[in-house]
Structure 1
Amino acid sequence: MKLQTLFTERRAVSPVIGVILMVAITVILAAVIGTFVLGLGDQVGDTAPNANWGAEFDANGGENGTVTFTHQGGDAVEASELSITASDSTVFEAMNAAEPSDARLAAGDTISREISDNFGGTTTANLVWEKGDRSSILRSITITVD
């Protein structure tokens, strides 16, 4: 092979490279279209907020008490997307979480819930984020009531 002809060749890009590029573009387009057709693109924005939460239980010196979760930093969270649940369904019997003063909870804001008078024992209280059909436990605390 002559070295001079190698550097003076005037042909375009190899047909093999062209085919590889066309296949890559087709695969990328198929993946993007497939995500939106299957509805996976709708869930991209529905992720749990990235926030730090403190948890505290105040027994109030009796059989009942209050579980309080404090936003300690990170993303602000819509109060309507939060709930406080427990592993034992009798803990918060027919009681709703106390409404926070703001519609969005930011650093320093709290959300709390009182314990039912007839509960005694140990359970786990969870701060749960729910939006649409997605949910996530943001913080948990184990509480014991005598």
Structure 2
Amino acid sequence: MDIKKFLSESRAVSPVIGVILMVAITVILAAVIGTFVLGLGDQVGDTAPQASFSFDYNGAQEITITHESGDAIAGDELSVVVPSDLTAETVSKKIGTDDNMNAGDTIVVTLATGETLDDGDEVRLVWTSESGSNSATLQTYTH
């Protein structure tokens, strides 16, 4: 057996590299097709906005929520959740002309006549994505 010829022989390298490349391409294609089939790519744009809000309760029937800083949020994607034993009579959004809630804009929630927040009651500001598939509580106020 000629050792020089054995060490310089490189015929088997090309098929091995070819098989490795074919397996790698197959795995990558399977991953890409899998993300589209499972719909994982659709949820990338549905992330909750990052914003800070302040709550001001006047002690009677009115809760004012002010956008302090952060992302602009479409006004129709925001809702206010009051405790289940209370009724939000009106929810008025004082937002900019672009229909987005920007810093400085407010939401005023007026409770039904005679209703007030009790100690421990929570009021939540909830964001729901345009598609309705995702939602998140942006801020919570506890009285």
TM-score calculated relative to the size of structure 2: 0.76
Identity of aligned residues (%): 46
The letter for the 1-side match of 2:64 is V
Unaligned segments of structure 2, at least 5 residues: none
Partner of 2:43: 43
Q: 1:119 to 1:45 in 2, by over 3 A?
A: same
**Residues 28-87 of structure 1, C-alpha deviations (whole Å, 9 max, x = no match):** 1111112212222222211111x221222231xx532223132412x221111111112x
Tell me how far 1:9 sits from its aligned partner: 5.7
For 1:80-130, what per-residue CA distance to the aligned partner results, in whole angstroms no more than 9, with x for missing partners?
A: 1111112x1243434224342330122332223223333341311111111
In structure 2, the partner of 1:129 is 127
Q: Is 2:94–2:106's contact at 8 Å kept on the other side of the alignment?
A: no
Distance in 1 between the 2:89 and 2:111 partners? 10
Gaps of 5+ in 1: none
Q: d(CA) in 1 for partners of 2:16 and 2:108? A: 65
Are 2:80 and 2:123, in contact at CA under 8 Å, matched by a contact in 1?
yes
CA drift at 1:13: 4.5
Find out whether 1:78 has 2:74 as its counterpart: yes
Distance apart, 1:11 and its partner CA: 4.8
**Aligned partner of 1:110 among 103, 106, 112:** 106
> 1:1-80 maps to which residues of 2 (within 5 A)?
1-2=3-4, 11=11, 13-49=13-49, 51-59=50-58, 62-73=59-70, 75-80=71-76
Deviation at 1:138, TM superposition (A): 0.9
Paired residue total: 136
Alpha-carbon RMSD across the aligned residues, in angstroms, is 2.5
Measured in 2, the distance between the counterparts of 1:117 and 1:56 equals 20
Which secondary structure state, in structure 1, belongs to the residue aligned with residue 139 of structure 2?
strand
- Which one has a larger percent helix, Structure 1 or Structure 2? 2
| 8 Å contact from structure 2 (residues 87, 111) kept in 1 | yes
